[in-house]
Structure 1
Amino acid sequence: MTVTAESAPEGAQQPPPTAQLLRIPAQGRRGAGRDRFLDVIRLLVMGLVVAQHWWLPTLVGDADGLTVGSVLSHDGGFLLTWGVQVMPLIFFVGGAANLISWRSASGRGTAASTWIARRLRRLAWPVVPLAVLWIVTSHAMVLGGVPETAMAAGSGAAGMVLWFLAVYVLVVVCTPLLSAAQERFGWRVTAALFTGAAVVDVLRFGTGVEAFGFANIAFVWLGVHQLGFAYGHGAIRRPHAVLMAVGGVAAALTLAIVGPYSPNMTGVFALESSNVSPPTLVLAALGTAQVGVAVLLRDRINAWAARPGPARLLDRVCPQLMTVYLWHMVPLSVIAGVLVFGLGMNTPEPMTGAWVLWGALGTVALLALSVPLARCAVRLEEPPAVLSGAPGTVRVLAAAALVGGGLLVLTVSGLGVGLVPLLGLLAVVSGLALTRAPRPRATSVATVPRVAVDLFR
């Protein structure tokens, strides 16, 4: 999700500041032409996501192995979620990156199906070695005597992070269509998507049928993703950003206070209800506010990112952020296992000094283990050369369905023991295989109809 000047949009006279930055030519140094503002947001989001996966669960060793609870079940814990729920920002960044990438590819004459296939390969292939490691290790450790509940907690959390990739398959497939819609209709596209989210919520809460809410996986996340398109077009000027920040906060608070919504903004570690699973209009409003605030701070963020130290940090870390996201549950599970089963320590009472110390020390240990692991794992993320070529529209849509469905299965089942994770992994691998160009059919006398053979005699 890196935005480069090479793929900058063309056309408008005197483009606004946002578009100007996307047009800056590379000047021979590493990272030149990248939108540092988007890089900083990615770093912030991934850092907070990884940190909350350590801070929010409560771990208690017992006779059954391990009991996992949540800090958010304590009084006032939901307030934390309004600060740590930053996933809308990563969809915003993804929208800007996808827009630039698609414009560059289509400008070179690349078909939409080919572009989607390339994105699917980059998105799904890193999951394969991750899932193989977790599934094999989970079976081996359970057979070796490790409590199945403890192993299920770690493998379930490892699968939980894949929900983002499952949804991202959807936004990748929709990018060519919604990019064209943005060109023609501008802000009306985002408004239509968020209106759809409101309609879904009315149906869900009005009828009591929770299943209706899952339609908002499309409306909410595509709506926030569309804000990235608006940013890429230079359409989010300062007045828009102010309106988004103020209006988004007001709408989110009003809906959460007087509406039928949960006060919790994240679904981490199985709380009974949240505004994420399924997504709601409250999450859309919060995401809009976050984007508005971020754009208002853009100049200051860019000034910080332009310094030599931060620039080097972004150059080194940003290419590995998705690797850290996918793999951080491995060191997290190791740390938790050592503390709970090796040292007999449980998570202290939340919101106490001991809990803060537990969280801080665990975060330091997690960082120390995640960085070298990411350096090794990043080598596994390059799709093999056999996955190449133009598969065509039908094959790429089938591939997206298999990859997205497989990732969803792995999200729900986890990367542990049993047949279901294996089926999920098989679906992902099958989808990846479909992103290849179809093999040409060999023509031989044996396969040509007899009447055609006779013509050449």
Structure 2
Amino acid sequence: MTAAATAASAPANSVATAPVTAVPLPRTAPRPASARAARDPFIDVLRVFGMVLVVLQHWSMPLLSFADGRISTGNALAAGNGWMITWFSQVMPLVFFAGGAANAISRRSAARRGEATPAWLAGRLRRLAWPVVPLAAVWLPLPHLLLAFGVPEQPVMTASRLAGQLLWFLAIYLVAVAATTPMLRLNMVYGWRVPVALAAGAVAVDVLRFTSGLDIAGLPNIVLVWLAVHQLGFLYVDGRLRRPWVLALAGYGLGAALTAFGPYPLSMIGMPGASVSNMAPPTVALLSVGVGQIGLALALRRWIVSFAEWPGVSRALDWAGCRMMTLYLWHMSALFVIVSVVVVGLGISTPEPGTSAWLSGWPHWLLMLALAMWPLLRGFARFETPPATGPYTGGTVRILLATALVGLGLLTFTVNGFVPGTASLLGAGAIVAGLALTGSSRRALPSRGRRGVPSVPDRRADGVVI
């Protein structure tokens, strides 16, 4: 998701030379007080806003009906001009951008403290992967239990697949986190040329994909597109995104041209029956719209920061910031609970999108989903903080192996979901094994404050995981 004067021969730990206690801001924006604490409320807002909008979209767009033991699904945004909404509601580019900024701040802060990259990566890896453990612990046996109680097989298998497909985001975000240190070094030397080179690579991949007619040829863009957006987060931290309206107009303008005259569909999410998706794998059109979203957000930064500093909003951000991973991982489970009761149990189909029945029922639908989500937040948010462990001492090879194992597990769940079978068990085993490798060979006690009280780290002090 510094200045060009930095020499190419900078030492390996040169990321520590970048400023960490203040985020350089665009010339037109005032410096918020919280920037002095190595935090940026603008990034906090983007994270929370992005995740909430993802959840809202996932909860609002399904069209569902149940008959003869099978559940049928559709997409409300496929009707009429619903694709227009996706140009603003498909906010994964904003999430990766915010993640890039958070990772830059966090890594530079850790480097200034003398923390090596393997130890930093071990901490990030634990915070990314640990919340997945309870999700797998619930969903691996759940399909067996539901089938044993006589629930029709097709809805159970559909839910099991979808619950795991959400982990695509963590799989690719893990790649971005693992690449943070070398990409920061490239950023220090080459600046803007790094995301431009990644975007050029994405263009070449799209040309090959559409000229060959093979969607598989577009798979490299899963890395190129999301790393390009992640890299823009580094430039933001360095104060080098100074013309937000230019970014907004250029990004949205290029996206409009590509969808109007190129092979790209209008929607920025996959649609039922569409032969091409801008999302899977991501295309240059999605990258362009993402740049437009980032420019628009930066143009509104002054007002966003002012809004975030209201006491009530600040408290809400503090509360939500420690629960965003839980919300993302479990919001589809909340949806499945309501669907199983309303659609499967009572046989009530969702209304046609845009009708009075759909519009009047939408708030009630969201309220039911929020009520189903609340106990999940209460029960699983504690797993956003991994168990205490001593300082990581395993070295580079071990942490790279741990990263590969966790990534393999996440990718397995992305492809197969939690459908019963060997693949799901192997995926869970890979994640657990990777987490085990992030531990220390010796257990260290928590650091203590001035009065002997164990200190509790601020989970947002150096930029949260996502």
The TM-score bracket by the shorter chain reads 0.7 to 0.9
Contact 1:102 1:115 in 2 (8 A): yes
Deviation at residue 111 of structure 1 after TM alignment: 1.5
Contact 2:20 2:108 in 1 (8 A): no
Alignment of 1:63-78 (within 5 A): 63-78=68-83
- Structure 2 gap segments, 5+ residues each: 2-15, 443-466
State the SS of the aligned residue for 1:328.
helix
Query: Residue 241 of structure 1 corresponds to which residue in structure 2?
Result: 244
Contact 2:131 2:325 in 1 (8 A): no
The worse-fitting range, judged by mean Cα deviation, of 62-71 and 265-274 is 265-274
Give the counterpart of 2:396 among 393, 396, 402.
Answer: 393
Query: Residue 152 of structure 2 corresponds to which residue in structure 1?
Result: 147
Matched, 1:376 2:379: yes
CA distance in 2 between counterparts of 1:110 and 1:16 reads 26
Deviation at residue 85 of structure 1 after TM alignment: 0.5
Change (3 A) 1:418 1:15: closer
Deviation at residue 280 of structure 1 after TM alignment: 0.6
Contact 1:121 1:387 in 2 (8 A): no
Matched, 1:407 2:410: yes
**What letter matches 1:246 in structure 2?**
L
Query: Residue 173 of structure 2 corresponds to which residue in structure 1?
Result: 168
Query: Residue 232 of structure 2 corresponds to which residue in structure 1?
Result: 227
CA distance in 2 between counterparts of 1:63 and 1:163 reads 31
Alignment of 1:269-280 (within 5 A): 272-280=275-283
Deviation track 1:273-321 (CA, whole Å, cap 9, x = no partner) reads: 3111001101110111101000100001111111122122112222111
The worse-fitting range, judged by mean Cα deviation, of 352-361 and 245-254 is 352-361
Contact 1:78 1:264 in 2 (8 A): yes
Q: Between Structure 1 and Structure 2, how many residues are aligned?
A: 426
Query: Residue 47 of structure 2 corresponds to which residue in structure 1?
Result: 42
CA distance in 2 between counterparts of 1:111 and 1:419 reads 37
Contact 2:323 2:377 in 1 (8 A): yes
Deviation at residue 372 of structure 1 after TM alignment: 3.7
CA distance in 2 between counterparts of 1:352 and 1:204 reads 38
Query: Residue 451 of structure 1 corresponds to which residue in structure 2?
Result: none
**What letter matches 1:228 in structure 2?**
G
Contact 1:139 1:416 in 2 (8 A): no
CA distance in 2 between counterparts of 1:391 and 1:212 reads 37
CA distance in 2 between counterparts of 1:12 and 1:104 reads 8
Contact 1:387 1:435 in 2 (8 A): no
Change (3 A) 1:260 1:14: closer
Contact 1:58 1:347 in 2 (8 A): yes
Contact 2:23 2:237 in 1 (8 A): no
Identity, % of aligned positions: 45
Matched, 1:426 2:429: yes
**What letter matches 1:217 in structure 2?**
I
Deviation at residue 373 of structure 1 after TM alignment: 2.1
Deviation at residue 333 of structure 1 after TM alignment: 0.9
Give the counterpart of 2:164 among 148, 153, 159.
Answer: 159
- Structure 1 gap segments, 5+ residues each: 2-6, 27-32, 440-457
CA distance in 1 between counterparts of 2:74 and 2:280 reads 18
Give the counterpart of 1:293 among 292, 296, 304.
Answer: 296
CA distance in 2 between counterparts of 1:355 and 1:86 reads 24
Alignment of 1:321-400 (within 5 A): 321-385=324-388, 389-400=392-403
CA distance in 1 between counterparts of 2:246 and 2:110 reads 33
Query: Residue 450 of structure 1 corresponds to which residue in structure 2?
Result: none
Compute the RMSD of aligned alpha carbons.
Answer: 2.5
Contact 1:263 1:274 in 2 (8 A): no
CA distance in 2 between counterparts of 1:378 and 1:335 reads 21
Deviation track 1:359-410 (CA, whole Å, cap 9, x = no partner) reads: 3211122223323421321112332345852322112112212111211110
Change (3 A) 1:103 1:21: farther
CA distance in 1 between counterparts of 2:45 and 2:144 reads 39
Change (3 A) 1:209 1:271: closer
Higher helix share: 1
Instruction: Report the TM-score, using the length of structure 2 for normalisation.
Output: 0.86
**What letter matches 1:250 in structure 2?**
G
Query: Residue 121 of structure 2 corresponds to which residue in structure 1?
Result: 116
Deviation track 1:18-46 (CA, whole Å, cap 9, x = no partner) reads: 795487435xxxxxx63211122122111
Query: Residue 60 of structure 1 corresponds to which residue in structure 2?
Result: 65
The worse-fitting range, judged by mean Cα deviation, of 283-292 and 46-55 is 46-55
CA distance in 2 between counterparts of 1:228 and 1:46 reads 17
CA distance in 2 between counterparts of 1:19 and 1:391 reads 43
Deviation at residue 79 of structure 1 after TM alignment: 2.8
Query: Residue 213 of structure 1 corresponds to which residue in structure 2?
Result: 218
Structure 1 or 2, whichever has the larger Rg, is 1
CA distance in 2 between counterparts of 1:309 and 1:12 reads 25
Give the counterpart of 2:267 among 232, 239, 264.
Answer: 264
Deviation at residue 114 of structure 1 after TM alignment: 1.6
State the SS of the aligned residue for 1:58.
strand
Matched, 1:135 2:146: no
Query: Residue 19 of structure 2 corresponds to which residue in structure 1?
Result: 10
Deviation track 1:88-146 (CA, whole Å, cap 9, x = no partner) reads: 00000000000000001111222212211111111011101111101111211112211
Change (3 A) 1:11 1:167: closer
